[in-house]
Amino acid sequence: MKPLTVRRLPDPGTSHPWAAAWEHLVRHCPESGFMQSLAWATVKAAQGLQVVHLGLFDGETLVGGTLAYTLPQPNGATLLVSPEGPVLPWSRPPAVVAGLRALLPALAAEAGACGAISWRIEPRLTPPRPDALRGFGRAPIDLVPQTTLYLDLSPDDDALLAAMHPKGRYNIRLAGRKGVTVHATTDPAATTRFYPLVCEAAQRDDFYVEPPGYFALIAEHLMPAGLARFLFAEHEGQLLATMLLVTYGDRATYFYGGTANDKRPLMAGYALQWAAIRQARALGCRSYDFFGFEPHGDPDHLYANFSRFKRQFGGEPARFIGAQDHMFTDRLADAVVRAFQEIGSSR
Amino acid sequence: MSVLHLDRRPDGSVSLFIDGDLQFDSRDERIYHECLVLPALAVAGDDGRSDLQVLICGGGDGLAAREVCKSPAVGRVDLVDYDGQVVALARDAWPDLHDDVFGDARLTVHQADAWAFVAAAVAAGRHYDLIVVDLTVPQDVTAAAFHSLEWYEQLAALLGPTGALAVNGLSPSATPAAFWTPYNAMRTVGLHPKPYRIALPSFRDQGYGPDWGFFLATATPLTADRLAGLALASPRQALQDTEHLRRLFALPADGAALRGTVAPYHRGDDSLLRRLGEQDDALPTEATWDALAAAVDPAPLPAPTASGLLPEPVRAAMATTAVDGDALLERVLTVMPALQPQHTRAMIDTLLQDPGRYLAAIDLGGLVERLLARAAELPAAIVTELRHLKAHLRELLSDTGALLRLGMRVVTVVVVVVIVANLVFPDSAYGKGGGAHVGGSGSFYRSSQVTAGTLDPPVVARGRGYRQNPIGHHRTLDESGAVFPARRFRFRTHSYWGHHYYHHHHHHADGPVGNDQTPAPESIYRLSPETDVLDDGRIALTLTRRTALIVDDEVVSVVDTASGNQVMALQRSDNLVFRLSQELERQRQGLARTIDAKLAWNAWVSWIAFTPWYAGDQSELQNLRRMQAKLTDARNLLGFRTGGLVEPPPPPLSGAHELFTSVWLMPDGTGIIARLPDGTDALLTASSWGRFGGSLGTVDSPYPEGFRRAVTDVLATMVKDADATYRSLFQERTEAKQALASLQRDLTEYNRIAATDGSSQTVDYGSSEIPCHEALRRTESDIAGIRQQVQELDQRLDTWPRDVYNARQVLLDFGRKAGSP
């Protein structure tokens, strides 16, 4: 096999000759997702992260690569992170080996410049971990949930409803009967409607919410391109539930959401999900990712609460190999030596 | 480009949000802008100068410019804002608010980056009499540069000897370490900053902190006398006079003490972001420090932070020799600060759980080799440790937990370096473990749980729950001020609730709810995730979706919440009462502290007299007091216990598993034992109900069908949860075994190659090619790690709690009785 070459691609925020080819690759790589899209990279750049875009070339053809994000720490220690990446033909192991073999030295060079001690990848691969990843180890922190729930969007409405847990179906209908309505918007200014409700839910259900600017950036960079929208479920003008829905390639992702403390018997959260599911299909998506799910019903799991709700909509649980780190041992040794020097000079 | 959102309210007021952050609220923006600009403007024009040259950094909304242009002495204003959208919006959307300032001939708007503009002005040798820095709270390193030494150096150069600098700061109460950081940066570059603060309801509503601070900096120190003689530009709506202004220079004394320790930083450093993450949970005190007491602040000035790898507290902890061994890692993890502004303490604690996982992906053998190769750069003791590690790597590699427990400094440093790299990356927040909630003291289901000798300290409620008016009304609040929907506990309050509970309880044990049912009491306060204080002062523990325990003044009632029936009365164990009382008292003290803090804040707000009284403060205080009274009622109803720990009640039979308070599972799975209010034990099986212990006899009541159903419900939940955990662990083990088998195949293959072609032969290892001996070493190391993992999972799965089998047995028996499959 002819060795692949790696080139650093231009800033994702600019239009460049490889942009369309890259998007095409990502959209058609089932192990990848929107976090490898150029639009997401512009969000990360606006968040203050440095974006490293490496393209893998077979001759002049772009065949894969990765968008890696880092917060450079020239005097410290940091990570290079490729959520939902790298973009490789994962079903063909030799091609994966060839791709990684080309990418790793390029990433090692990037690591030297930004102070990264490891490259963290997170392809949506189901276990067992491919042999090509032998040089990687399980990372301490996942950025994308390791277990999730996929709903296949190919059946029609009736079939989807029929496949749901009866309670889910009942609650969807109940919310409709009680007059809960749902509308979607791609207006970034709606962040200010979305955010307080998510915070209300976060306080109640004890999950972490990023600062408002994070959602404002996502809205600004993804919504104009139609890659994201806010959905709002309302009753008599009162906002009861909201979500940020990301649609990219074949997959729609229920990225963030929350329901109000008020009027909970109206089941607005069910109406919202159902509207999102139908909207996702109308937008051409084939699967709906609930983004985080605990399949067994383990009550101590971090996702236990949300999973009880998500379970009502049917779908198939999916489990991934989780984030994997390729350590740059030389860079780690540098960092350890530097740490000892800092400790020594503090004495 | 940013996302702008203009919130227009029916009363005509507007708020501007940029990227979701509040910029101003027209209802109180005058407090902010008059206080930011007018004192420094007065200082700049103090000696009667005219044609003042003014620079405004940020402030595209035009409101700071409005204040500047109030002075006829101002000759020219350069307003630099990188965001043209804001200026465009300001021109069209709120001309009345900024008095059409963009039409003022003295004002020139520059759409540019403030840093570049200032650098160019310095290079051109320009000077300004007044500089107003009206930038937002930094969220990233780039924005944090606007409080760095380099920034203030440039501003000092632009100011000249007589100029005045006004800087928008942070909240001195909420984030004191961050607030005092720019103060020390200004001092370091030779300016004399004077901090002052205001109360801004809109900022407080957004959670920016109870107060908001500014700095007025000059090259020659500003004195109280000079301040008193300043002529503030008019008209003014918020700032009354210099006497009023003088009051603002009183800052919280505790926070002000930090100015002797918080180091300023260089551009590119993230110290400020880290300090923004250190929300102060200390109580606001009434003690204040007068920023104008001395012309020159005598507080020590810390040297700038050396931008480095280890956060300062970690470096300090590692440098001390007082702690060693595995206690060192524990110590270091305790002092690990937030490395991102959004990281809460709870999140950091979650991220630091099980520190061994930070070693999982490391090729420790390879790292040890590389470090030994650089022995000359390392302390001698560390080199000794590395040699020891190298010699024993094979046995140590298999168990990272054991490796950490050895307490080697070098291992500690490696773990800390990897942790820092992970915490620095902003998205690590996804490894979240809750942001908002505080600890609490766990579950109260069982009485056999060891009572904690020490409790978490009481907390001050920071959530907004108590500000919503009024308490109750289908909402439940907790000690942090978080809001939950109320839980409703439908149950009969029987006329005999009191002394005759036991002899008669069975009369109403089943059947429909009668007319004696009062409206279903609701939870009003959440003591722990499953424990609620009801509005009538009783305490309810939610066991399952349809089974709850109601702790009353004499008994614990098992209640079927679907039918509302009390299905059994149980003994209230002293241990349960003690633990509930202790927790109620702790949280009651927390509310008392919140009330004190609230009173102190209200006193301060009315003293500085911008707004006569914040509208929500009265009702918030009232809510807090009402809730405190509710907790007092609950504690009194329970019968307040003081004194030392109360031992858990002895189980009726050795080996009996406590299902919930006063109810045990028989150790052989033959039934359930309930401890009745009179202290006797009764045995419930599928077909019988009788006295248990010593001599068998009958219980003076018929078979408690409702209780059997409730117990079945609890057992079913227990078994379901245990099964789920089992399945999850089983899957984990299956995957680990698969990985182990695959590694062992590789090992065999590498051994074969080594035997035939020699160990220097290059082999495929994952996606790379390495010498065979290296592949062997790394594969052996991976095998050791995974084998350990498999062994641990085997251990857990093979010693699955006996109670689960027993519970399943009882369920089967009970199920047969009920005729279900």
- Report d(CA A64, CA A89) in Å as an integer: 8
Measured in residues, chain B has a length of: 821
Reported as a single tens digit per residue, the pLDDT across B588-611 is 999 998 898 888 888 888 888 776
Within 13 A of B558's CA, how many CA atoms are on the CB side? 33
Q: CA triplet B502, B506, B512: central angle to 5 degrees?
A: 135
CA-nearest of B614, B605, B804 to B721 is B804
- The sign one gets for the Cα dihedral B232, B235, B241, B245 is negative
CA-nearest of B673, B793, B811, B796 to B736 is B793
Per-residue pLDDT, B644: 67
Per-residue pLDDT, B495: 37
Across B489-512, average pLDDT: 47
Per-residue pLDDT, B320: 82
Closest chain B residue to the Cα of A69, Cα to Cα? B425
Looking at the predicted structure, is the pLDDT value of residue B436 above 70? no
| Percentage of chain B exceeding pLDDT 70 | 89
The C-alpha of A245 sits at a distance from chain B's nearest C-alpha, in angstroms, of 18
Say if A226 is an interface residue toward chain B (CB within 8 Å): no
Residues A138, A140, A145, A148, Cα dihedral to 10°: 50
Per-residue pLDDT, B412: 93
Q: What is the largest CA-CA distance in chain A?
A: 71
- The sign one gets for the Cα dihedral B605, B607, B611, B612 is positive
Q: Are B444 and B584 in contact (CB under 8 A)?
A: no
The C-alpha of B482 sits at a distance from chain A's nearest C-alpha, in angstroms, of 6
Per-residue pLDDT, A14: 87
Reported as a single tens digit per residue, the pLDDT across A289-306 is 999 999 988 887 878 888
- Report d(CA A41, CA B121) in Å as an integer: 34
Of A128, A298, A335, the CB nearest to B728: A298
Say if B426 is an interface residue toward chain A (CB within 8 Å): yes
CA-nearest of B221, B352, B219 to B298 is B221
Q: Which residue has the tokens 């006295």?
A: B691
Residues B107, B112, B114, B120, Cα dihedral to 10°: -90
Chain A residues in contact with B765 (beta carbon < 8 A):
134-135
Chain B residues in contact with A134 (beta carbon < 8 A):
746, 765-767
Contact state of B765 with A135 under an 8 Å Cβ cutoff: yes
Tokens linked to A306 = 């949300």
- Report d(CA B491, CA B488) in Å as an integer: 9
Band (pLDDT 50/70/90 cuts) for residue B281 is low
Across B294-320, average pLDDT: 86
Q: Are B132 and B68 in contact (CB under 8 A)?
A: yes
Contact state of A299 with B721 under an 8 Å Cβ cutoff: yes
Chain A residues in contact with B319 (beta carbon < 8 A):
343-344, 346-347
Per-residue pLDDT, B553: 82
Name which of B1, B2, B3 to mutate to probe chain A: the one with the most chain A Cβ atoms within 10 A of its Cβ.
Answer: B3
Reported ipTM: 0.96
Peptide bond into A86 cis (omega under 30): yes
Mean pLDDT of chain A: 94
Alpha-carbon distance values, A122 to A83, A196, B580, B585, B726 (Å): 5, 30, 45, 47, 26
CA-nearest of A145, A144, A150, A9 to A83 is A144
Closest chain B residue to the Cα of A144, Cα to Cα? B430
Of A132, A144, A332, the CB nearest to B367: A332
> Which residues 88-147 of B have a C-beta within 8 angstroms of A?
139-142
Reported as a single tens digit per residue, the pLDDT across B751-772 is 999 999 999 999 999 999 999 9
Per-residue pLDDT, B426: 76
Contact state of A339 with B357 under an 8 Å Cβ cutoff: no
Of B141, B738, B782, the CB nearest to A128: B738
Per-residue pLDDT, B470: 79
Q: Which residue has the tokens 């045995």?
A: B683
Reported as a single tens digit per residue, the pLDDT across A253-294 is 999 999 999 899 999 999 999 999 999 999 999 999 999 999
B28 or B351: whose pLDDT is higher?
A: B28
Band (pLDDT 50/70/90 cuts) for residue B474 is confident
Q: What is the DSSP string of B39-101?
A: HHHHHHTTT---SEEEEEEE-TTSHHHHHHTT-TTEEEEEEE-S-HHHHHHHHHH-TTTTTTG
Say if B415 is an interface residue toward chain A (CB within 8 Å): no
Q: What is the DSSP string of B124-177?
A: TT---SEEEEEPPPP-SHHHHGGGSHHHHHHHHHHH-TT-EEEEE---TTTSHH
Query: Phi/psi at A223 (nearest 5 deg)?
Result: -70, -45
Q: pTM for this structure? A: 0.85
Per-residue pLDDT, B605: 81
Helix, strand and coil in chain B, % to nearest 5: 45, 15, 40
Size of interface A-B (CB pairs under 8 A): 274
Band (pLDDT 50/70/90 cuts) for residue B508 is very low
Per-residue pLDDT, A315: 95
Reported as a single tens digit per residue, the pLDDT across B115-146 is 999 999 999 999 999 999 999 999 888 899 99
- Report d(CA B207, CA B200) in Å as an integer: 11
B641 or A335: whose pLDDT is higher?
A: A335
Per-residue pLDDT, B643: 66
Looking at the predicted structure, is the pLDDT value of residue B503 above 50? no
Mean pLDDT of chain B: 86
Contact state of A78 with B310 under an 8 Å Cβ cutoff: no
Reported as a single tens digit per residue, the pLDDT across A52-87 is 999 999 999 999 999 999 988 888 899 999 999 999
Chain A residues in contact with B347 (beta carbon < 8 A):
208
Across A91-110, average pLDDT: 96
> Which residues 369-408 of B have a C-beta within 8 angstroms of A?
370-371, 374, 377-379, 382
Which range scores top for mean pLDDT: A2-6, B75-79, B787-791? B75-79
Tokens linked to B268 = 């590119």
Looking at the predicted structure, is the pLDDT value of residue B283 above 60? no
User: Strand B768-771 relative to strand A316-319: parallel, antiparallel, unpaired?
Assistant: unpaired
Chain A residues in contact with B739 (beta carbon < 8 A):
128-129
Across B245-256, average pLDDT: 93
Tokens linked to B571 = 């003994």
Per-residue pLDDT, B433: 40
- Report d(CA B462, CA A174) in Å as an integer: 36
Of A81, A203, A337, the CB nearest to B463: A203
* Range from A300-304, B145-149, B160-164 carrying the lowest mean pLDDT: A300-304
Per-residue pLDDT, B506: 41
Which of B285-313 are b and which e, b meaning 16 or more Cβ less than 10 Å from the residue's Cβ? eeebbebbeeeebebeebebbebbbbbbe
* Range from B78-82, B422-426, B534-538, B740-744 carrying the lowest mean pLDDT: B422-426
The C-alpha of B778 sits at a distance from chain A's nearest C-alpha, in angstroms, of 9
Residues B193, B194, B196, B202, Cα dihedral to 10°: -20
Of A137, A192, A344, the CB nearest to B5: A192
Active site residues of B: 134
Closest chain A residue to the Cα of B740, Cα to Cα? A128
Chain A residues in contact with B358 (beta carbon < 8 A):
140
Across B334-348, average pLDDT: 77
Across B184-295, the runs of DSSP E, i.e. the strands, are 192-198, 212-218, 250-252, 288-290
